Structure formats: structure tokens, C-alpha cells
Amino acid sequence: EVHLVESGGGLAQPGRSLTLSCAASGFNFDDFAMHWVRQAPGKGLEWLSGISWNSVGIEYADSVEGRFTISRDNAKRSLFLQLNSLRYDDTAVYYCVKDVATQANGEGYFSNWGQGTMVTVST
């Protein structure tokens, strides 16, 4: 069974940085692209970034390009998202998501989601 467990969320001040992690199990992690999707309180889903199986292909939403950095460590079966220059509107639940494809370029869709980690940006 696929399991995705996010961690690293919490309270952060505006302008600071935070790194989210996702531990994957139950599938061959290095065979699939992975993504981060967030959901602000009471709002809809927003895709942030995707990374191919071998980290060669990386895509970002316009809203976070240049501020957020996605990465993965296949040996540790882990996905990461570094959030820099945090803003109040970055407050959201951040989900780690498994693709069905190897590339993060639209060949697939989102088959499994973690339970999410909450990031709150506040003074």
C-alpha cells in the first residue's frame, strides 16, 4: 500500500525559510514523478511543483517559481520542498503527491496523496 507522510510544517515568520519532507513507502519510489500541492484554509487545490523520477525534469507554478525548490533523494525514498521568503499567503496544508508517470510534464495524474503538513506564516 502506498504511504506518503509529510513533515516539516509549522509556524514560520514572514521572510523566513522552511523545508518540507515527504517519506514514501509501499511502491518503487524511483519509478515515479512526484509533486507538491497546497490548499489554503477554506480554499481549493493549488499545484506548486513536480519532479521527474530522476530529478532531470522539474516544473514550477508561476506563483512559486524562484521562491520554492523541489528535490528528491531516491536512495532515501524522500521528496522535499524548500520554501523561501515565506509570505502570509503561503499559509496552507502542503500535500505530497505521487504521479502515475515517470515525468512531471503532463503524461500522468495524481494517484496518491499524503495527509499533508500545515504551514502557518505569521508574526
Provide, rounded to whole angstroms, the least separation between the CB of residue 123 and another protein. 27
**Cell numbers standing for residue 110:** 495524481
Among 10, 15, 26, 106, binds another protein (CB under 8 A): 106
Query: Does residue 116 belong to the site contacting another protein (CB under 8 A)?
Result: yes
Answer left, alpha or beta for residue 10, where phi above 0 means left and psi between -120 and 50 means alpha. left
**9 part of the interface to another protein, by CB under 8 A:** no
Options 16-24, 38-46, 67-75, 77-85: segment touching another protein (CB under 8 A):
38-46
Tell me whether residue 17 or residue 115 sits nearer to another protein (CB atom).
115
Which of 30, 105, 118, 120 lies at the binding interface for another protein (CB under 8 A)?
105
Name the amino acid, one letter, at 52: S
Return the C-alpha cell found at 24: 514514501
- 96 forms beta bridges with 36
Which residue intervals of 48-89 are DSSP H helices? none
